[in-house]
Amino acid sequence: MRQFVPSLLAFAVLNLIQDMGVRAEDTQPITYDDHVAPIFKRHCRQCHGESKQEAGLDLSSFASVKKGSSGGPVVVAGRSSASRLIQAITAENPEERMPPNNDPLPAAQIAMIKSWIDTGLRQNAGSAVSVQTLAFKPSPVTETSHGPPPMPEKLPIVELVPTARPFPVLALAASSRAPLVAVAAYESVGLLDPATRGSLGALAFPEGEPQVLKFSRSGAVLLAAGGRPVQSGAAVLFDVKSGRRLATIGDEFDAVIAADISPDERRVVIGGSNRVVKVFATEDAKLTHTLTKHTDWITTLAYSPDGKLLASGDRTGNIHLWDAGNGGIVLSLSEHKGAVRAVAWRSDSKVLASCGEDGLIVWWDVTTGFPVISKPGAHPPQRPPGMYGKIANGVLDATFGPRGELATCGRDRTIRLWSDDGRELKTFSIKDDAPSSKTSPARIRILPTRVALTFDGATIVVGDSVGQIHSWPTANPASDK
């Protein structure tokens, strides 16, 4: 049996594991002894066994599988997509696929091996997992903030611009210190009480459509970025208390679709269709340097809470970590096979979460660049009656809460709350459709577009595709408020 050759095309089995009842959270773990060894014995050990080891690979024992081949490891704990074993048995080219001169392994068996790798390479039911975990100790933002939390006070009255159709919530953000949520609307930003969804005022954004909203770590400054597609784009900094515009940053030829403000409020980064990350000084709004590694639209940007790293994601699934000080590349994170919709930092700056149109959620260890947790098919949609073909399976947004919990929303019209170790805690749903216009009886399907968790983690807030805001107390998901 010849040496494993990695496939250039990834093989995705997004929902099969769930259909089989094989999940990381199940009480019966997938193990080498009980599940994987019989597959290897039937299909692989003629060439990779005790008597013969093509390419130096022996699959006859747990220890020899962990050892790998003459070319190095063939399984990476927690990362089936980066394991050469999976690449070999799923290669689309029959001349590269293992076992050679045979039909591919059954999909259920491939899913079994993938699950064994992703859940930690257990030898038997009593074995400890090999997947790395990172303990989380919350770092309260109040340690670096002083005085009462900034809240709007007597903001100028903003006349809202009417639109012919409902304007989707393109951006949503929760203050890190106060019971305050910012919501994007056409040519304006609304400020709401997250518990009641009552209005606390609005900020004018004549630049056009706000695509990004971010509160500074102190909660005193709100960044709004966006513009008019294929015309202009910029980022604006607002004083949260007074609503006063503090700075206008950037003069782009297209709308800004990714942006953030550094924890010390000294830098703003923007990105978009030009594939370049631009870094500006907030003091004088001057460009300090550009970051040029992306090859497609930049879709998301986020500074780490400690201000040391900057994460950027793009439309082809690439994620890069940059030194926030000098702009040097630190790591490239490769796991997504579709557009990255959001990246979010845990408050201790040790873990970065990412989500994308491939239906995948990843918790990354930013010191090694490896996933700590990977959730394929995290928001699997229901197939509507009479619909055929591939169904969109995207995760549209993700954000961390103060205790390391992660909130996500997806094309399955659900919002999920995950624990800091990747367990699903609660699910919230958007069920009702909306009229397509005031005069038409037709209904349109509502999707959750953005999700936020309040500073205390008590409330989850969601914006949807027809401009509505939903909220639930995280302790009780029974009803949509």
Q: Average of pLDDT values for 435-450?
A: 70
CB 320 within 8 A of CB 329: yes
CA angle 471, 474, 478 (to 5 degrees): 75
Q: What's the rounded Cα separation, in Å, for the pair 447 and 458? A: 23
Three-class DSSP category at 41: helix
**pLDDT-derived band at 478, boundaries 50, 70, 90:** very low
Q: Average pLDDT of the chain?
A: 85
Q: Which residues sit opposite 269 in a β-bridge?
A: 260, 279
- Token digits for 77? 């704990």
> What pLDDT does residue 76 have?
82
Tokens 């409020």 belong to 265
CB 152 within 8 A of CB 431: no
Q: What is the pLDDT of residues 457-473, one digit of tens each?
A: 999 999 999 999 999 99
Helix (H) / strand (E) containing 238: strand 232-239
Render the burial of 16-47: b for 16+ CB within 10 Å, e for the rest: bbeeeebebeeeebbbbeebbbebbeebbbeb
CATH code for residues 141-473: 2.130.10.10
**pLDDT-derived band at 8, boundaries 50, 70, 90:** very low
Report the range of poorest mean pLDDT among 80-89, 100-109, 330-339, 364-373.
80-89
**pLDDT-derived band at 9, boundaries 50, 70, 90:** very low
Q: What is the DSSP string of 264-307?
A: TSSEEEEE-TT--EEEEETTT--EEEEE---SS-EEEEEE-TTS
Q: Average of pLDDT values for 61-66?
A: 89
pLDDT over 60 (residue 140): no
Tokens 């392994």 belong to 105
**pLDDT-derived band at 130, boundaries 50, 70, 90:** low
CB 98 within 8 A of CB 86: no
Phi, psi dihedral angles at 32 (to 5 degrees): -65, -50
> What pLDDT does residue 452 have?
98
Angstrom distances, CA of residue 336 to CA of 84, 359, 364, 377: 17, 9, 12, 12
pLDDT over 80 (residue 432): no
Three-class DSSP category at 123: coil
Q: What's the rounded Cα separation, in Å, for the pair 76 and 85? A: 9
Question: Which residues, in sequence order, are CB contacts of 215 under 8 Å at separation 6+?
Answer: 173, 174, 175, 176, 180, 182, 221, 222, 223, 240
* Residue scoring higher pLDDT (141 or 93): 93
Q: What is the DSSP string of 45-99?
A: TTTBSSS-BGGG---SSHHHHHH-BTTB-S--TT-GGG-HHHHHHT-SSTTTSSS
Q: What's the rounded Cα separation, in Å, for the pair 186 and 170? A: 10
CB 198 within 8 A of CB 212: no
Report the range of poorest mean pLDDT among 387-391, 451-455, 457-461.
387-391
**pLDDT-derived band at 434, boundaries 50, 70, 90:** low
> What pLDDT does residue 21 have?
34
Q: What's the rounded Cα separation, in Å, for the pair 405 and 421? A: 8
* Residue scoring higher pLDDT (439 or 405): 405
**pLDDT-derived band at 474, boundaries 50, 70, 90:** very high
Q: Which residues sit opposite 400 in a β-bridge?
A: 406
pLDDT over 50 (residue 3): no
Tokens 């460009």 belong to 287
> What pLDDT does residue 143 have?
43
Q: Average of pLDDT values for 145-165?
A: 84
* Chain-centroid distance, C-alpha 173: 15
Share of the chain above pLDDT 70, in %: 86
* Residue scoring higher pLDDT (16 or 466): 466
Share of the chain above pLDDT 90, in %: 59
Strands 209-215 and 181-185: unpaired
> What pLDDT does residue 259 have?
98
> What pLDDT does residue 27 have?
52
Nearest to 309 by CA among 320, 294, 324: 324
> What pLDDT does residue 137 have?
58
Three-class DSSP category at 369: coil
Q: What's the rounded Cα separation, in Å, for the pair 304 and 366? A: 10
Q: What is the pLDDT of residues 292-332, one digit of tens each?
A: 999 999 999 999 999 999 999 999 999 999 999 999 999 99
**pLDDT-derived band at 248, boundaries 50, 70, 90:** very high
- Token digits for 79? 């990362």
Verdict on whether the full-model pTM lies above 0.85 = no
CB 376 within 8 A of CB 80: no
CA angle 19, 22, 27 (to 5 degrees): 135
Tokens 């340097």 belong to 289
Phi, psi dihedral angles at 84 (to 5 degrees): -65, -25
Q: Average of pLDDT values for 264-282?
A: 95
* Chain-centroid distance, C-alpha 468: 22
Burial class from Cβ neighbours inside 10 Å (0-12, 13-18, 19+) for residue 410 reads buried
Q: What's the rounded Cα separation, in Å, for the pair 304 and 369? A: 15
Nearest to 200 by CA among 215, 180, 219: 180
Report which DSSP code applies to 17: H
Burial class from Cβ neighbours inside 10 Å (0-12, 13-18, 19+) for residue 289 reads exposed
Please write down the HEC assignment for all residues of 437-467: CCCCCCEECCCEEEEEECCCCCEEEEEECCC
pLDDT over 90 (residue 242): yes
- Token digits for 123? 């030898």
CA angle 298, 340, 81 (to 5 degrees): 130
Q: What is the residue extent of each domain of the chain?
A: 16-118, 141-473
Q: What's the rounded Cα separation, in Å, for the pair 175 and 216? A: 8
